[in-house]
Structure 1
């Protein structure tokens, strides 16, 4: 698929999809199949660019690498001449007088009648020399995605809150070799969860990561600032994530109390013509399956909005 970028403002597309992960590509494919003119902005970043293999997605008996799923989806979208991908980061979006939207990206400008925001989240992985090479190989963030493959193994949970303690307790159902490292100046685990961890025999280490031992994506040990060497097979980072909502906030889209984009069951936001899908919309259920569904629903709602009044049932 061509990623050539126009140098001037052209005729407005029916929908601009911001984000090229599973949610955005699902939305784009659905919109293309509704015969809409679709423009996808993909910077090649996000969770689906990590190295992990997804074993939860229907139809792949041996699992599918998320990067391969993303590549296959882009190839699938490439079958539609009315859809294209541009490799630009959208920096600003504003409404225009005709009721659509103007998107600015790296000196270029586009127009769209509707928007689908599939901007994802920024995960807060522990940072140490070479940390990126371990993400998806032996450093994970999701028990639903990667817990099963790590049953019986030595797991280090990293986080300083009750959410991390809860994850450690859940992982304990898969292996009896679980420890928790706060990796923070503060230890905010409540007395209730501390008692639960103690009862399960889960050691809590209040220290911070200095460096890691490992190679080729496989962690062998974490060395703390106090000099402890914690051997492990896998690390589960429970340090949270920040939804990428800068563009939504710029448009005045309502956010949930947790900071995610607020949507209804049709993925509609508080702004007419703006839809959102994927991890940026929810604190829970951050799964590829959910992202693909939400992208499809957002596209269907946007398509219905674009129909003239005589084609609507309402």
Structure 2
């Protein structure tokens, strides 16, 4: 594997993989093992760079930090000299499967590929308060599937003002009877039906905003609201939504689902020939590392088959 932070404008590969999280790393691994050349664009951001420990990935009895999983992935990919990592943020992408694709970064750097795999992830809408980043994955979570089990019987504050937040609070209530919901919004978007469900479950709804928090080393102990309420807690679950990073997909003319995520089929193909998508940006499955790894592998396999000459294809 070659790391080239100053790649030149004539850099090219069979595949351009945009995103260095589990989906992108999995895609790069499979493509390399198909003996394809790969450029992986990784700026070191995204969900897999937070502090959380993943307990759902088979083969790690004690769980594994997502950052550690990324590091292991990079170490595994280092054995393949047909993979190059590029530490540039792709700002524009164009082309088609006939003429090839061009990815461009700020400063005019450009890279060329025959296929594209988009593993660009999402932008989570965490509540912002001084030092909020240190709590993400340690005591501030966004996924009951990932972190609910470890929070059984604990004091949980759900943050959000929609039915989705209310639903998450209800689901967490099956793990602990100490759940409260803080809207952190000017408005309350929880429907009367869900408000009644929360009331029936004795889950208080607090209509206020987070001003600051108390805690050390990423472990939150209390939230202080603008109304000067002090809400003690063990964990905060942020259910304020996420925006899929679909800007590059839109530039390529890729169809988006009604939900806003990239629309893919069961092989991770998008509506544009030669363009594939994997991981959280598709929302094909619940946002899980295991799903992203699977989707990356599937996208790479489909892309590899697409690159074969006609005489090697059965269809």
- The equivalent of 1:81 in structure 2 is 81
User: 2: CA distance between counterparts of 1:183 and 1:97?
Assistant: 46
Give me the TM-score of the superposition, normalised by structure 1.
0.98
* Secondary structure, aligned partner of 1:281: coil
Is 1:212 paired with 2:177? no
The answer (yes or no) to whether the contact 1:125–1:237 under 8 Å persists in 2 is yes
Confirm or deny that 1:199 pairs with 2:200: yes
- Per-residue CA deviation, residues 213-234 of structure 1 (Å, 9 max, x unaligned), is 1110000100111110000000
Q: 1:163 to 1:252 in 2, by over 3 A?
A: same
- Aligned partner of 1:69 in structure 2 is 69
Structure 1 runs, 4 residues or longer, greater than 6 Å off: none
| Mapping for residues 115-126 of structure 1, pairs under 5 Å | 115-126=116-127
In 1, distance between residues paired with 2:298 and 2:99? 22
Residue 105 of structure 1 deviates from its aligned partner by: 1.3
Q: Could you say if the C-alpha distance between residues 87 and 121 of structure 1 is closer, same or farther in structure 2, counting changes exceeding 3 Å?
A: same
Q: Work out the CA distance in 1 between the residues paired with 2:46 and 2:125.
A: 12
Written as runs of structure 1 = structure 2, the 5 A alignment for 1:84-99 is 84-95=84-95, 98-99=98-99
Q: Deviations over 1:67-94 (max 9, x none)?
A: 0001100111111011111111001111
* Residue aligning to 1:27: 27
- Any idea what SS the aligned residue of 2:212 has? strand
Number of matched residues?
313
Return the alpha-carbon distance in structure 2 between the equivalents of residues 296 and 59 of structure 1.
18
How far apart, CA to CA, are the structure 1 residues paired with 2:148 and 2:7? 45
Q: Paired residue for 1:14? A: 14
1: CA distance between counterparts of 2:240 and 2:69? 26
Counterparts of 2:311 and 2:75 in 1: how far apart (Å)? Answer: 35
Partner of 2:51: 51
CA drift at 1:100: 1.1
Deviation at 1:6, TM superposition (A): 2.3
Q: Residue 270 in 1 paired to residue 305 in 2?
A: no
Contact 1:258 1:283 in 2 (8 A): no
User: What's the counterpart of residue 230 of structure 2?
Assistant: 229
Structure-2 separation of matches of 1:224 and 1:189: 20
The aligned residue for residue 138 of structure 2 is 137
Q: Tell me, yes or no, if the aligned pair for 2:23 and 2:294 is still in contact at 8 Å.
A: yes
Partner of 2:295: 294
1:124-160, CA deviations, whole angstroms, 9 ceiling, x for partnerless residues? 0000011001000000000000000010000000000
TM-score normalized by structure 2?
Answer: 0.98
**Equivalent residue for 1:190?**
191
Measure how far apart 1:2 and its partner are: 3.6
CA deviation after TM superposition for structure 1 residue 96, in Å: 5.8
Q: Distance in 2 between matches of 1:235 and 1:284?
A: 24
| Per-residue deviation, 1:8 | 2.9
Shift of 1:283: 6.5
Q: In the TM superposition, what whole-angstrom CA distance separates every residue of 1:259-280 from its partner, at most 9, and x where no partner exists?
A: 1000000000010000000000
CA distance in structure 1 between the aligned counterparts of 2:289 and 2:157, rounded to whole angstroms? 25
Q: Show CA shifts across 1:32-72 (max 9, x none).
A: 00000001000000000000000000100000000000110
Separation (CA, whole Å) in 2 of partners of 1:97 and 1:159 = 42
Provide structure 1 residue ranges, at least 5 long, that are not aligned to the other structure: none
